[in-house]
Chain A
Amino acid sequence: MEVEQVANLKTKGSFSKLYTWLPIILLFVSVLNEFDFNYLKLEYFSFNFPFILIFFFTLKDFKHFDYLFVFFAGLLNDTVIGLPLGISSLSYTLICIATAYIRNITIRPSPMKDWFYFLFIISLINSLNYSVLTLFFSYDLVLTSYLVNTTCTFLLYIIFVSIFKYYMKGIND
């Protein structure tokens, strides 16, 4: 009986450990897998899931969401997509800086403010990405795709945030 309880506790312990590392695992899966529903063939539809994930969990200062992992996730993303190495890492790190700044200046957090702040940050980062890729690396890119991607990411943020909040509640309980 005691052995069974110990085994249950052990299983529960490893499961909860995995559960706490879930956001970072999800980040790596999403950069390796390009989790974006492109195969649905919805015209112009695309969104950047890692941006939402990084913004939310770094804003909440989630303890298992290490900046170094975020940085490596960026490197993996560049390799998978075929962008020059370091571009996504820089983007992700800039999101981390932005969230660290907003955390420092915010006394009373508001989801609405966070949402529009998110829009501002991703617009800025996508503009930076577009400029660096076209000016320094002579890539031909469609600006409309970037605008649509930014808009869709912004709109889907609120949906994913509600799911993440549910997850956070589960962690705290």
Chain B
Amino acid sequence: MASSRDDFIIAIRSAFLKKSTQQKFSLLTLVFISIFIILLSSLDFKAVRYLKAGLSEVVYRSSFIVSIPENFVRNSFINIIEYTTFFNRYQNNRDELDKLKSDFVSNEIIQYENQELKVLIDDYISSSNKILAKIIVDHDSPFLKSIIINKGSKDDIKIGTNIYDQSYLVGRVIEVNYKTSRVLLLSDLNSNVPVTIAPQNIQAIVTGSGDNFGQIKYIKAGLSEELVDESIVYTSGTGAIFKSGVPIGKLRSKKDGSSNRYDVEFYSDFTQLKYVFAETITQIEIPQVEPEIVPIEDKSEELEESKLKILEDELKIIEETNSKFIEENENLTSEINDLNNQISVLNNEIFLQKQKINQFNLDTQELEFLKLNLEHGHKCRKSFFNADGFNVGTEEYKSCVLNGGRTGG
């Protein structure tokens, strides 16, 4: 038992400390150096930062050169796949282009409006300058989704600079070297973007999934029921990390057990990126109009003058309002007179109609009596043979005719 433990210890010691004839360092030394470097890189000293930036600069360029053969193979592979769907895509693109052209015009109008409004609220105008950058390293790692671009602090790139593919957001810069930068893509698990979902106008956060789509997270309870497929997801600008109003992708809902999961299908295909735009923003403050400096002795006079002017203005406004009221009053009086005339006309009409109705009723009764008179008149008329009859024209005769010739009650 003891000897096997000794063997283990000897083997371990030998593995850690023994240097072969070819080796310059023992493995234990290298382990300690590795741990030391990890600690240094986590502490973020200035010297370490510069050293890291220098190393990155060299390594990224070397990586770009070394990747040329693999990139050639990769691009050939992608080209072959693209050619097979070339014609269909051409037709789709043509249709889309027509639509985009019309959208572009309205977009420009909105931009101008936006700029004007910003001037009105004494805000700042951000003048953005988009720099074209080439992707020099894109390894599409399954763990971390990032790319390296050939622009750095020399080109005014800063940490947080927004990166675009055309006008779609791709990610933001997380590491800046002199002539290169690392961009964290929106699909990375560590990426969080505050967004607005249109047209429902719902605020949410899109986080990367580690795959080629994002996930809607941190949405207010109950609002998820309002979300529908094809809704547009764009940056809300909350937190000032990303510029507002930049399109990201479209919403897709997926059944995840009993509930729905909402994914964001990015407009841009991150695996096909060759060139991107880095947007460097400079804020231009709108110059405030400086008030003229007036000598102190003139100030009181000016104050009174301005007060008088205000009072005059007030008086003018009151007079104007008054005249408007008078005018309105006259209009209302004439309207009332008109209405009264209309009422009297209508009353006359009603009276005439009532008379007509009464006449009609009388005529109807008379007609009825004449009909019955023809039928039963002989029964009610006083004659030699009918001594119980009545004289024609009397009320009794009339009631006898109306009762159908019955003389008695």
Binding site for B on A (CB under 8 A): 28-29, 32-36, 38-41, 44, 46, 61, 63-64, 66-68, 71, 74-76, 79-87, 89-90, 93-94, 96-98, 100-101, 103-105, 132, 136-137, 139-142, 145-146, 148-149
Contact = CB atoms under 8 A, between A and B. Distances in A.
A19 B7 CA distance: 37
A66 B189 CA distance: 36
Contacts of A84: 38, 41-42
Contact of B55 (A67, A75, A81): A75
Given A61-B20, A81-B141, A81-B144, A32 B34 contact: no
Interface stretch (B9-17, B107-115, B225-233, B350-358): B9-17
Contacts of A67: 23-25, 27, 30
Contacts of A142: 142-143, 189, 210
- Chain B facing A: main interface SS: helix
A98 B31 CA distance: 12
A101 B41 contact: no
A106 B175 CA distance: 46
Interface residues of B, number: 53
**CB-CB nearest 4 A-B residue pairs:** A86-B37, A100-B15, A34-B139, A140-B189
B34 A74 contact: yes
B22 interface: yes
Interface in B62-118: 62-63, 66-67, 70, 74, 77-78
User: Chain B CB within 10 Å — which of A29, A33, A136 has the most?
Assistant: A33
A145 B210 contact: yes
A68 B27 contact: no
Interface string B38-71: 1011100000000010011001101100110010
A98 B43 CA distance: 29
A94 B146 contact: no
A170 B106 CA distance: 69
Contacts of A103: 15
B379 interface: no
Nearest to A93: B30
A83 to B, nearest CB: 7
Contacts of A98: 15
A104 B31 contact: no
Contacts of B7: 105
Given A33-B63, A33-B70, A149 B144 contact: no
B190 interface: yes
B33 interface: yes
A104 B15 contact: yes
A76 B59 contact: yes
A86 B41 contact: yes
23 contacts: A28-B66, A32-B63, A34-B139, A36-B141, A38-B140, A38-B142, A39-B74, A46-B141, A46-B142, A61-B20, A71-B33, A74-B34, A75-B55, A79-B52, A79-B55, A79-B59, A81-B139, A97-B31, A101-B14, A139-B190, A140-B190, A142-B142, A145-B143
B182 interface: yes
Contacts of A81: 139, 141, 143-144
A64 B20 CA distance: 11
B376 to A, nearest CB: 109
B188 to A, nearest CB: 8
B163 interface: no
A97 B27 contact: yes
